[in-house]
Structure formats: structure tokens, C-alpha cells
Amino acid sequence: MPALIETRDVSKRYGSFNALSGVTLAIAADEFVSIVGHNGAGKTTLVNVLTGLLRPTSGTVTFKGMDVAGVGPVRLARLGMARAFQLVHIFPGLTVRQTLAVAVVSQTGKAFHFLTSLARDAQVQERVEAVARLFGFEQLDLEARSLSQGAKKLLDVASAFALRPEVILLDEPTSGVSTGDKHQIMRVLVDAAKSFGVKAIIQIEHDMDLVSEYSDRVIALHQGQVLADRPPAAFFGDAELVATVVGKRRVRD
């Protein structure tokens, strides 16, 4: 099967600092990939390059065979790639329904429907309600600012799913969430991906329990380079590798 996302020899330099050097990887359909590494290892730069936000200094990035280096988020959303951020991004004054509708309107290509009623658009409202159900939102007319921190995070991720993307990139989807809720969020994510036909999930994650339990593949970054790219069992089996990538204190005996 051809790769959905491919990078070839991607480097990103800031002055003399190499944020990424020679990163080559391919992500195929039906994969749940976790990117791990220290702060400063290049994880966020990599995701920024993959989502077309940053143009790599050298190398190529393709999504479904198209060159997407630096194309920007709007086009990428249309091509089928969505992203949610580590810091919660919400529309404080919009309701849950409106927030999800923003994504559904983009996805259905209705942004230039000027005079039709959004509330009476059955197609949009059905899709909004489907996403809301999946993510457990019951009160759709609450303003986003009045939600709990966990619900805000979930709404952020839900709005990315509402784009019905083929690939979704999540920057620490569970950061700032209590340990008990983390598994719940991950299960919702995996279920949502299945029922919406999301082909691949790529996440940056620090919690190694979550990495080992949910991912099919672990990509370990260290000083801007891919140190390892293997299934979780093989990754966690290598104590030395784990120690380099996540620090000794994380290694359990």
C-alpha cells in the first residue's frame, strides 16, 4: 500500500540550529503512530512540517502523493489532514454546536453559502450531532468558554474530527488531563477514528503508558533525527533506547 504521508530527507534549520536533520519516514493507512522524544527533540517541528505550516529547509513532504511543503493549514484541511494543538484552541464565544459547524461547513464546502440558514441545514446539523454524540457532548448550546478544561480539550479534538480528515495529527491530546481521563480520551479518539474513516492518527505523546497501549508504531526523535521507528513492543524492549529517548526515570523494571 502506498504511503499516505511521506517525508524524504527533511531538514529544518533555524540559523545554525538543526531542528530536524535527514528525517525520512512513511506513514501508511490504518496506522496509529506515536512520536516521542525529549523537549527540543524536534517533535513539534516535525508536525509543523507535516501539516504544511513550516516549509522544510531541504527535503520533500508529500501527502497522498502531493507535495505539501508549506501549503498552509487551510489547503491541507481541504486535502484531508486535520490537526489539534497541545494548548487548547477553542472559540470561546461560540457554542459547541457552532464550533463543530465551523469544521462541517468547511468540509462540506459551504463557506460561500451566504444566505441559507445554518440552523436549518439538515446535512450540516446531522454531521455536527454525529460528532457531538461520539465525543459525548450532550448540551450543544453551551458556550465553549463555559466548559471544563477536559471538555475544552475534547471539543478541540472533536472539531478536528468534524473535518472528516483522512489523517489527524494530535499534539499531546491528553496533556493537562487527569490520568483517569486520559484512557477515556484515547478510547474516544480511536473509536471516532474508526467510525469516521480516519485512516491514520499521528500523535505526539509523553505518556509512555498511552504510547505502548494504543500505538502501532513509535517514532523516536532525538536531536532532530529519527533514532528509532518500530512497533511499541520492540521499542519498549530496548531499555537503552527508551532511556535515551524518554529519560531513565521513565524506565520501569
Q: Site residues (CB under 8 A) for another protein? A: 72-74, 77-78, 82-85, 89-94, 98-99, 101-103, 105-107, 110-119, 121, 124, 156, 159-160, 162-163
The cell for 123 is: 446535512
Q: What's the min distance (Å) between Cβ of 202 and another protein?
A: 15
Query: Cα separation of 110 and 214, whole Å?
Result: 35
**Chain centroid to CA 43:** 12
Query: Cα separation of 213 and 9, whole Å?
Result: 30
Is residue 212 classed exposed, middle or buried when 0-12, 13-18 and 19+ CB atoms within 10 A define those classes? Answer: middle
Q: What's the min distance (Å) between Cβ of 13 and another protein?
A: 24
Q: What's the min distance (Å) between Cβ of 108 and another protein?
A: 8
Q: What's the min distance (Å) between Cβ of 61 and another protein?
A: 17
Position 220: which residue type? A
Residue with Cβ nearer another protein (61 or 242): 61
Q: φ and ψ at 219, to 5 degrees?
A: -110, 120
Residue with Cβ nearer another protein (24 or 123): 123
Residue with Cβ nearer another protein (26 or 142): 142
Position 241: which residue type? L
Residue with Cβ nearer another protein (21 or 51): 51
